[in-house]
Amino acid sequence: MVFGKKMNGAEEYVPFKYAPGMIRLDANESYADMPDEMKNKVLAEINAQAFNRYPDPASSDLCKAFADYYGLYASNVMAGNGSDELISIICSALLPRRSKILLLSPDFSVYKIYANLYEQTVVTVEKDEELNTTADAIIDAAKKNSVDLIMFSNPCNPTGQGIIASEVEKIVASVDCAVCVDEAYMEFWEENETVLPLINKYDNLVVLKTCSKAFGMAGFRLGFAVGGDNMISLFKKAKMPYNVSALTQAAGLVALKNREYLKNMTAQMISRKKKLYNSLKELESPIFKVFDTKTNFVFVKTPMAKELHAYLIKNNIVVRYTAPDYLRITAGTRGENDLLKSKLEAALGETGIH
Ligand code: PMP
């Protein structure tokens, strides 16, 4: 029987079991929950829904609100059940099996998981020691391997590095394939190197956005695909009929209409990230390298990554460990960031190298 054989070699995603009160700096979420005033607005909207009815399959009001927020046309937008759903659609429905997908390494692990699940062929461009790559390297690899799709996060999870918009445009303009730019963390890059303004200039470009990071709504599962009319009509053909629940649509609408709230929240997260970065920089040494960041997290390289990860968990703080020697640390509240620093300082002090 072949049933399930496809999963041979695949690994189940085992979520971390947080003990009560643990400080969670491992998932790049917003450190702040929605204030009660906003929550009450969301609850009032949810209360007004008829629970026996399916939601609007097109999430029309939500797409319009999202388009207004970013100065786009609603016809350029499709909502998804988190951007994870949109990544899955791209790797499955929009490409035949054995298509070639160019990914960067390191980058968001979900791209490769879906590419493998949907039996695509992955072509990888490795980043250098400083965790960067160039538009030319990507273009060369795309052409040499005749790839069908290039997909990368910008700025990048997990490295925190970014490619400026003019370089991304160079890629999109030079290749003969689709390019998916996942801008999950673009709100945190103060120079704002988004390529959203290019979506009607290039019909091979799709941009992914999420409400899970700067908008602090990871629990609701809401992401958006943005592209030219042809691109979005492909997505609409491929999505599940009722992919965004009525609850999520209601919550997204409330958030997107409260622009001041979203802007303030993002500004505060940027400020926390800067403070976290500066305090980690103070710990920098030959065994503790801190990378610059355009996101809401800081990426660190240290041969002690595994030990530090375990030590922090013992001290009630969870950060993300990436083998072999990286830690990815999401900016938390001021108190959380301070505690993290003091624990790291103590641990590094014990090595006698720092
Ligand atoms: N893209 C990137 C680069 C991410 O880091 C994440 C979340 N970790 C996602 C997409 C998925 O976001 P969502 O919660 O919208 O599914």
Domains in the chain, CATH or no CATH each: 5-30+261-348 (3.90.1150.10), 36-257 (3.40.640.10)
Q: Alpha-carbon distance 87 to 205, whole Å?
A: 14
- Nearest CA among 245, 199, 201 for reference residue 225: 199
Tell me what pLDDT residue 337 has: 96
What's the gap in Å between 184 CA and the centre of ligand 1?
Answer: 6
What's the gap in Å between 352 CA and the centre of ligand 1?
Answer: 38
Q: Alpha-carbon distance 99 to 91, whole Å?
A: 9
Q: Say if ligand 1 is within 6 A of residue 157 CB.
A: yes
Tell me what pLDDT residue 354 has: 52
Tell me what pLDDT residue 353 has: 52
Residues of the chain with pLDDT under 70: 351-354
Protein residue with least CA distance to atom 4, ligand 1:
184
What's the gap in Å between 346 CA and the centre of ligand 1?
Answer: 32
Q: Alpha-carbon distance 49 to 43, whole Å?
A: 10
| Pocket residue to mutate for ligand 1, from 25, 28, 108, 183, most atoms within 8 A of Cβ | 108
Q: Alpha-carbon distance 78 to 332, whole Å?
A: 31
Q: Alpha-carbon distance 209 to 282, whole Å?
A: 33
Whether residue 80 contacts residue 243, with contact meaning beta carbons closer than 8 Å, is answered with: yes
Q: What is the 3-state secondary structure (H, E, C) of 99-145?
A: CEEEEEECCCHHHHHHHHHCCCEEEEEECCCCCCCCHHHHHHHHHHC
What's the gap in Å between 293 CA and the centre of ligand 1?
Answer: 17
Tell me what pLDDT residue 15 has: 84
